[in-house]
Chains A and B, each alone.
Chain A
């Protein structure tokens, strides 16, 4: 009898252990989510650095444009004062605006500037946390705990059923 109980208990405990393929899958998912979180965070960092460098380049371009337009403004003012309206009128005819997009790569519709870049890694962290717990094989104590939780539920159901059966039948 004792041997039977021991065998049965061992079998039950083994049923409380997380199956190895699940442990393996959970471990892989944990690693992948952590890797992905790391990878995406690095990507966002590199985008921020690139945007910083873009801002500096744009500032340089803006300064160039400002220098050139300032020189043009001065010349226009001088010619206006010198009453050279003919030349200025001719300039207006010749000075057409250049093509805003020579390669036609961006849709013509005007768009607002996009928001600052950010990434919410909370979902990935939550997944990694859950799967990391599953990936840890259950100790015997934890298996016993699972078994007791299980038995508690079974007994609870049995008790409820017993109580219900005790109630006097309705006339």
Chain B
């Protein structure tokens, strides 16, 4: 064991090293370099010559990199997205409410007009004719004709269509066929009205979904097969640079093709991420390059190939094989999560839009159904003696004839229900929901982008912080010099 070295503590020695300021004066500067050069090189020469990454620790760098890490940890991007999510919820509530407020006022004006009546100069007929004209007006907008006075009723057509719904036949398809049949039997004008368009949109969305899902399933099987074949050939064949480059080319091609297709087909997006994840997980297991010399190393090399093709990290054929740094893998995994979540967002947006289209069709069907029922109830009291022109419906409701009063009440109730359960929610979905679905999907994508930015930045900043913390520590070096007796030499040079 070495004894602690004697330290020369002469005045010259002390003056040589440090003046009162932070800087060392020039005459002593050269001496400082010389002293340390000799001392440190004696200790570190072998290490320095063999290792380019050995460096001197700097407190300033450590503080700066630690600060960068702390600042990045402070960053709260999610607060921004949470605020926007809450804003969109609030906006939806306010817009729904205003649309409903406006339409309920219009509904009530119509109801009061029907109930109270209007000036006889402005209208020929009583409250029944007024209600009838409102029913006809709404039905013409919805299906292009009113079923009042027709033998075939729209309620029956809707019920028939509902009874034909099966695994192979959606309500949209069944109703579309039923409306065609209804029109042909009653000489009603061809489609193209609001409900027809709504049905067509639902049917188109459903068809597109079936096609995209089918295409995705087929491509998944095909691409997975191609990829597995490429990896298998690599594993079984010569594991040389040429074979590896061939694999890389295939993986690159696969990723590019699948990603391009996933843009047009959200159902295919999962495939890209699933395949990458599978190989990345394998890669995370094999972070030790020595693992490549063990049996099954070809799989590990193939996994590195994936990481190299996807993220430009790692190289299975460098010597020794360059396995990606854990921080690079963390960034890659963050990217993967981002890709996987984006595919999920596209899928959910498509599903939400489909659900909204379907909900809109359902409420329009309800509107048609209630209007048709209102028309049928009205028909039962149309033959009763007429009232004065412009006289309101309230008089009918006050009738001592219970049958007449009941039909009149039902007609009015169904007409109001057509507004409440049909027209108003359909307008809310039209004017508010569709746009908000798109904005929510964009928000979700932005949130994922924010997470991906941080997911890529944090490992990189952690790498810098680790660098700042590391390096050759001057205090440790001083202890070493003392232990080895070099302290005396250093001080005694001057």
Q: Which residues of A does B touch, CB under 8 Å?
A: 4-5, 7-9, 11-12, 14-19, 21-22, 25-26, 28-29, 32-33, 36, 39-40, 43-44, 47, 50-51, 54, 57-58, 61-62, 64-65, 67-69, 71-72, 75-76, 79, 82, 84, 86-88, 90-91, 94-103, 105-107, 111, 113-115, 117, 119-120, 122-124, 126-127, 130-131, 133-134, 144, 146-159, 161-163, 165-166
Is B355 at the interface (CB under 8 A from chain A)? yes
In the complex with contacts A19-B55, A100-B96, A51-B87 CB distance below 8 A = yes
Whether B45 contacts A11 by the Cβ 8 Å rule is yes
Give which listed residue, B87, B398, B421, contacts A114 with CB less than 8 A: B87
Query: How many inter-chain residue pairs (CB < 8 Å) link A and B?
Result: 307
The residues of B that contact A155 with a CB separation of less than 8 Å are: 17-18, 32, 478, 490-491
Interface string of B184-221 (1 = CB under 8 A from A): 00000000000000000000000000000000000000
Also in contact, A68 and B106, with CB within 8 A (given A103-B356, A123-B74): yes
Among B18, B40, B102, the residue within 8 A (CB) of A61 is B102
Q: CA separation between A120 and B83, bound complex, in Å?
A: 13
Cα A90 to Cα B114 with chains together (Å): 11
Taking CB atoms, residues of chain A closer than 8 Å to B99 are 61
Contact between A102 and B392, CB atoms less than 8 A apart: no
Check: B243 CB closer than 8 A to any chain A CB: no
Q: Would you call the interface of chain B mostly helix, strand, loop, or mixed? A: helix
Q: Is B262 interfacial (CB-CB < 8 Å)?
A: no
**A18 neighbours in B (Cβ, 8 Å):** 55
In whole Å, how far is B200's beta carbon from the nearest beta carbon of chain A? Answer: 20
Q: Provided the pairs A8-B41, A152-B17 are in contact, do residues A79 and B477 lie with their beta carbons within 8 angstroms? A: no
Cβ distance A59 to chain B, nearest Cβ, rounded Å: 10
Binding site secondary structure of chain A: helix
- The 8 A-B residue pairs whose C-beta atoms are closest, nearest first, are A8-B41, A157-B478, A68-B105, A162-B7, A155-B17, A153-B474, A102-B425, A65-B102
Q: Are A8 and B490 within 8 A (Cβ)?
A: no
28 contacts between A and B (CB under 8 A): A4-B41, A8-B45, A12-B40, A12-B56, A15-B44, A15-B48, A15-B56, A15-B472, A18-B55, A33-B457, A40-B450, A54-B91, A58-B98, A64-B98, A67-B102, A82-B116, A86-B397, A88-B112, A91-B111, A94-B416, A95-B111, A98-B100, A98-B419, A98-B428, A117-B84, A131-B68, A149-B58, A152-B17
Most buried by B among A90, A100, A124: A90
Does B95 lie within 8 Å of A58, measured CB to CB? yes
Q: Which residues of A contact B56 (CB under 8 A)?
A: 12, 15-16, 146-147, 150
Complex formed: what's the CA distance from A22 to B156 in Å? 76
